[in-house]
Amino acid sequence: MHGEDTHPDVPGVPAPEEPTVQEPTEPRAPLPPKPDQGAPAPVSATGRGPQDGAAARSQDGAYLTNAQGTRLPDSDHSLKAGPRGPVLLQDHHLREKITHFDHERIPERVVHARGAAAHGVFESYGAGAGISRAAFLAAGARTPVFVRFSTVLGSRGSADTVRDTRGFATKFYTDEGVFDLVGNNIPVFFIQDAIKFPDVVHAAKPHPDREIPQAQSAHDTFWDFVSLHTEATHHTLWNMSDRGIPRSYRMMEGFGIHTFRLVAADGSTCLVKWHWKPKLGVHSLTWDEAQQLGGLDPDFHRRDLADAIEAGAFPQWELGVQVMPDTPEQTFEGIDLLDPTKIVPEELAPVRPLGLMTLNANPTNFFAETEQVAFHPGHLVPGIDITDDPLLSGRLFSYLDTQITRLGGPNFAQIPVNRTHAPVNDMLRDGFHQDAVHPGVAPYKPNSLDGGCPFFAGAEEHAFVEHPLPVAESKKVRESPASFADHFSQPRQFWLSMTPVEQEHIIAAYTFELGKCREPAVRERTLLALARIDARLCAQVADGLGLPAPEGETVEVDPSPALSQLGARWPVAGRTVGILTGPDTDPEALAAVREAALAADLVPLVVAPSGGDPDRVQRSFATARSVEFDAVLLAGTPGPAADATPVRDARAAGPDDTVDPRIALLLGEAWRHAKAIGGWGEPARDTLTAAGLPADGEGVVLGEDPVQVLREVADLLAEHRVWKRFPAPGGGE
Ligand code: HDE
């Protein structure tokens, strides 16, 4: 026997205390939610969030450390045997630094690799409360969101302004769990069945042998596939329209594409299509602008979004739904609601607004947030259920699967940007990148050791209960319903709904893309598809390619005016106005115009010959290009500056020496791109004439009162462009 205070083996050392934690024999209370799966707090590597303002630096504290917290005396030199000697293998700091760097990259998304994102808030109007039990649709509910916009085809480093579909994916951090609305800016898709997705993506991505072209569909394999697979016709037509080259992420619509089922508190259901409607309207670049921007500012959309948010011009969208009855047929006015290549025209089912989304904060760290965000159409909340759209069914598998490769394991929900704001009490354990230190011993059900906890919830406790939709008795088949075979009526409807200008742009787009195809069979087959949309479309594209136009049968359809981007007026907030100045510019008039522009929420950018006041001058003649302005004002004679190096290269051959050739180029482009041009006094008129442009042309505002000129130019901007100027003189567009 040993004394009570003495260790049995080590004399003089107190005996260990009796263990207080016993193997449990009785059920006990449930465990609290995992503490480290609470609400995501956007933090930098320092552990500080963006709200910390100036303190939010990359590193905290006085001393640089390694990953283990050990302070470092030097991080610029490898450990060597003498200054000119070999680097030593024992340099553990070098190895840690380089090894971490070697693994900094993760695989890019297989599609939608290039994107830009922002944080925001969704405020519900309550108008959806009667049709969905989702808590975030209740009146007055405010839900944090994270939105990622993307191109589809290009890799992470590709240009923003390519012709492509844009992704529009929204993560709602609701009190009932995460809801992801993973949509696009085009309301229809290439394929009707998910099993075709690898085919369409393989066809659209660069050719596997040469890895060209980048980020675009203008190549043989894409047109080979879509011309053989005519269910892609509708989506492709949208891509060839101005929707394929948006002016800004802030000026795009978003669509959930598939039909979803909403479930109300009383169990009643309806079928809906989701729409995001931008407050700034839907606007596009011209093809020529998109081409220039690809070189001049490949980050145009990314920059535009971040700049607007930083400046406090928070972009907003209304979320709405088209509501259709949930009938056993799941059709509406003859349209198969399970076919993701079909829209429901807004004239047949108007979009009912449910709430307003405002994007009000840029990400703190691109990789941590924009790159690591993981969307999944299967992230649903009570009140929002799926339909049997076969494309949606495939997506419900794909997104979870892809994150496991991309984010390195099954625990991506623990990455801060992906963390739900609802308490997590799951029984998922272990795996790569497990951040939680789970206590307890019973991550299984049923259990008695944890008192049977946690319990299952019912609908009253906000559980996600699948709607018990009857499943049709049938036999196993690999086939589509007959209604899916109509591939041309809605493309024709889209074409007929376009204004002449929009139709011209579509013709030019098809001509360009098919001009990049080398295989005659691919072009000919595509012309056959175009003939089934519209004879003039087909004839003009054929003419551009120097090919005979085939004939085709078309169907009778009514246009849907809501599909056109033209004809409405929109807020001009955030639009840029270039103000071209010269030696004779009146400083008072310039100041008054800048003030008036700022008061109208426009962004005035003053362009001066060179050496101007840096507080007032944002661009010089050498650095300004037309593509960054939505409208241009002439505030004097931007003639050749005495001290400027004369530019006489091919791009800038002005028709007249009284105007600087770079400004002549800028004005010519603004004219060709149908931008409003304004000016005051004789110098403005003379400059336009010297640049070879008509001073009394469409969308040219000349007057004596500078502020009045600005107002009239802003008025023209409300229609986005001076549409009457198309088609451009010289055949620009
Ligand atoms: Fe996606 N899609 N998709 N897609 N998709 C992905 O998920 C997929 C489809 C969309 O900003 C991937 O995380 C399949 C339709 C967006 O992170 C992947 C099918 C629509 C984004 C994937 C579709 C979309 C993706 C790649 C056919 C519009 C970007 C990386 C059944 C409604 C989300 C990733 C972001 C991303 C699969 C069709 C939109 C591989 C199999 C239709 C906006 O999981």
> What confidence tier does 399 reach under pLDDT thresholds 50, 70, 90?
very high
Question: Distance between CA atoms of 449 and 440, rounded to whole angstroms?
Answer: 9
**Percent of the chain residues past pLDDT 90, beyond the cut:** 81
The pLDDT, as a whole number, for residue 584 is 87
- 80 DSSP assignment: B
Encoding tokens for residue 243?
């929707």
Is it the case that residue 647 has pLDDT exceeding 60?
A: no
How far is ligand 1, taken at its centre, from the CA of residue 111, in Å?
Answer: 7
The pair of structure tokens assigned to 197 is 């997705």
Of residues 381 and 40, the one with the higher pLDDT is 381
Segment 190-232, tens digit of pLDDT: 999 999 999 999 999 999 999 999 999 999 999 999 999 999 9
Phi, psi of 197 (to 5 degrees): -60, -45
Residue closest to 258 by CA, chosen among 430, 393, 72: 393
> What residue owns the CA closest to ligand 1's atom 3?
395
Quote the ligand 1 centre to 152 CA distance (angstroms): 9
pLDDT in the model for residue 312: 93
Q: Which residues are annotated as a binding site?
A: 109, 148, 197, 395, 399, 406
Query: What's the confidence (pLDDT) of residue 636?
Result: 84
Residue nearest (by alpha carbon) to ligand 1 atom 44: 399
pLDDT score of 731 more than 50: no
On the question of pLDDT at 611 being above 50, the answer is yes
Pocket of ligand 1, candidates 399, 401, 418: which has the most ligand atoms within 8 Å of its Cβ, to mutate?
399
The protein residue with its alpha carbon nearest to ligand 1, atom 27, reads 194
Q: Is the Cβ–Cβ distance between 421 and 175 less than 8 Å?
A: yes
Q: What mean pLDDT do residues 78-105 have?
A: 93
User: Tokens for 480?
Assistant: 């589509």
Asked if residue 79 lies in contact with residue 92, where contact means CB atoms within 8 angstroms, the answer is no
Which residue CA neighbors atom 38 of ligand 1 most closely? 395
Spell out which residues line ligand 1, taking CB within 6 angstroms.
Answer: 109-112, 115, 148, 150, 167, 169, 182-184, 189, 194, 197, 257, 373, 375, 391, 394-395, 398-399, 402
- State the Cα–Cα distance between residues 414 and 50, nearest whole angstrom: 20
Q: DSSP secondary structure string, 163-215?
A: SS-EEEEEEEEETTEEEEEEEESSSS-S-SSGGGHHHHHHHHSPPTTT--S-S
Q: What span, in angstroms and rounded, lies between the C-alpha atoms of 220 and 207?
A: 9
Q: CA 558 to CA 609: how far, in whole Å? A: 53
Positions annotated as catalytic residues are 112, 184
pLDDT digits (tens, 9 = 90+) for 361-393: 999 999 999 999 999 999 999 999 999 999 999
Reported as a single tens digit per residue, the pLDDT across 490-532 is 999 999 999 999 999 999 999 999 999 999 999 999 999 999 9
Residue in the block written with tokens 């000129």:
709
Q: Ligand 1 centroid vs 366 CA: distance in angstroms?
A: 20
Biggest alpha carbon–alpha carbon distance for the chain: 113
Whether the per-residue pLDDT at 28 is higher than 90: the answer is no
Residue 653 is predicted with a pLDDT of 44
Q: Mean pLDDT across the stretch 606-613?
A: 82
Range 118-401 classified under CATH 2.40.180.10? yes
Give the Cα separation of 421 and 119 in Å (integer): 14
- Residue-level pLDDT at 650: 36
Token digits for 713? Answer: 């130019």
Would you place residue 46 in the very low, low, confident or very high pLDDT band (cuts 50, 70, 90)?
very low
Query: Which token pair is 669?
Result: 């482009």
Quote ipTM for the complex: 0.95
According to DSSP, the β-strands at 676-680 and 700-703 are parallel
- Positions of CATH 1.20.1370.20 in the chain: 488-563
pLDDT > 50? residue 610: yes
Atom of ligand 1 nearest to the CA of 110: 26
Cα within 13 Å of Cα(207), Cβ side: 12
Q: Which two tokens stand for residue 481?
A: 């319903």
The CATH code of domain 576-731 reads 3.40.50.880
Q: Which atom of ligand 1 is nearest to the CA of 399?
A: 44
CATH 2.40.180.10 spans which residues of the chain?
118-401
What are the structure tokens assigned to 319, written together?
Answer: 């979320």
Domain with CATH 3.40.50.880 in the chain: 576-731
The token duo for 18 is: 């009796």
Mean pLDDT of 149-162: 98
Q: So what's the pLDDT on residue 613?
A: 74
- Look at residue 9 in the predicted model and tell me its pLDDT: 58
| Closest residue to atom 32 of ligand 1, CA basis | 183
Q: State the chain's mean pLDDT as an integer.
A: 90
**CA separation for the pair 93, 67 (Å, rounded):** 10
| CATH class, 488-563 region | mainly alpha
Terminal C-alpha separation, the chain: 100
